Amino acid sequence: MAKDTKERILAAALEMFSQKGYAGTNIRELAASLGMGKSSMYRHFSSKEEIWNALLDEMIAYYAARFGSPEHLPPVPASPEALVGMTMRLAELTIRDEKIVKVRKLLTIEQFRDARARELATRHFLTGLTDMFGQLFARMMDRGLLRRDDPAMLAFAYTAPISALIRLCDREPEKTADALAQIEAFSRHFIGTFAAARTTGGDGGNGPAGDE
C-alpha cells in the first residue's frame, strides 16, 4: 500500500513539476490533488527535494528500460533498413509516451535551476543519444552494414536533427505527423548515404546479428 501511495505521489509530482516547475509546485497543493493532507504526504517523503530526486531516479530507470542508454544498448540493427525501423520506434516512443514528454518538459524548465536536472538534460538531449548511437554505428560498421567513418561524429550528425524535430513536437503538437515523416525521410537519406554498398537493400528485420 505504501509503495502504491508513493507511486501516486510521484505521478502527481511529475504532472505538477512539468507544468509549474519546482519552485511553482506547492506541497500542500500536491497533497490536495491526491486527496491527502500535508502531514500524510510527509509520511512517505520528508521534503519536496526528496520527492524531486525520487522522481528523477524513477524516470531515469523508466527511460533506460524503454529507450536504451549507452550502458544498456538496444539491439544492434541487423541491416540499414532496420536502423530506420528502430529510429521510428524510438521517435514514436519519445513523442507519444506521456511520462517521457513530461520529463522532457520538466528538464527543460529546471535545467537552469538544478544541477542534477542540468546534467540529465545534457545527457538526454545530447551526450547520451550521441554515445548510444555512436556505439550502435561502430558495431554496424564492424559488421559491414555501414561504411567506415567516425562513429561519434556520425552519431552527432544523425541525432541532432531528430532531436530538434522531437522538441518541435513538444512546442507544436499539431506538427507531430509532419515531424515523424521528416524523421523517417532523414533516416532513409542517412542510410542511402552511409550504408555499405552490399547491404543497401536490407531485410528490415532484426536477425541473429541484432540479438545482443
How many angstroms separate the CA atoms of 60 and 55, rounded?
9
How many angstroms separate the CA atoms of 74 and 77, rounded?
9
How many angstroms separate the CA atoms of 169 and 176, rounded?
5
Q: Amino acid identity, residue 124?
A: H
Q: Which residue has the cell 522532457?
A: 104
User: Rg of the chain's alpha carbons, rounded to an integer?
Assistant: 20
How many angstroms separate the CA atoms of 115 and 136, rounded?
29
pLDDT digits (tens, 9 = 90+) for 120-174: 999 888 899 999 999 999 999 999 999 999 999 999 999 999 999 999 999 999 9
The CATH code of the domain at 1-57 is 1.10.10.60
Q: Amino acid identity, residue 204?
A: G
Q: What is the predicted pLDDT for the residue at 41?
A: 87
pLDDT digits (tens, 9 = 90+) for 19-67: 888 889 888 899 999 999 888 888 899 999 999 999 999 988 998 888 9
Sketch the domain layout of the chain as residue ranges.
1-57, 67-200
105's grid cell: 518538459
pLDDT digits (tens, 9 = 90+) for 64-88: 888 988 988 999 999 999 999 999 9
Q: Is the pLDDT of residue 118 over 50?
A: yes
Report the topology of domain 67-200: Tetracycline Repressor; domain 2 (1.10.357)
How many angstroms separate the CA atoms of 204 and 90, rounded?
16
DSSP letter assigned to residue 1 = -
Q: What is the predicted pLDDT for the residue at 38?
A: 86
pLDDT tier for residue 113 given thresholds of 50, 70 and 90: confident
Q: With beta carbons less than 8 A apart as the criterion, state whether 73 and 46 touch.
A: no
How many angstroms separate the CA atoms of 99 and 17, rounded?
12
Of the chain, the end-to-end C-alpha distance in Å amounts to: 37
The pTM of the whole model exceeds 0.75? yes
H or E element at residue 81? helix 80-96
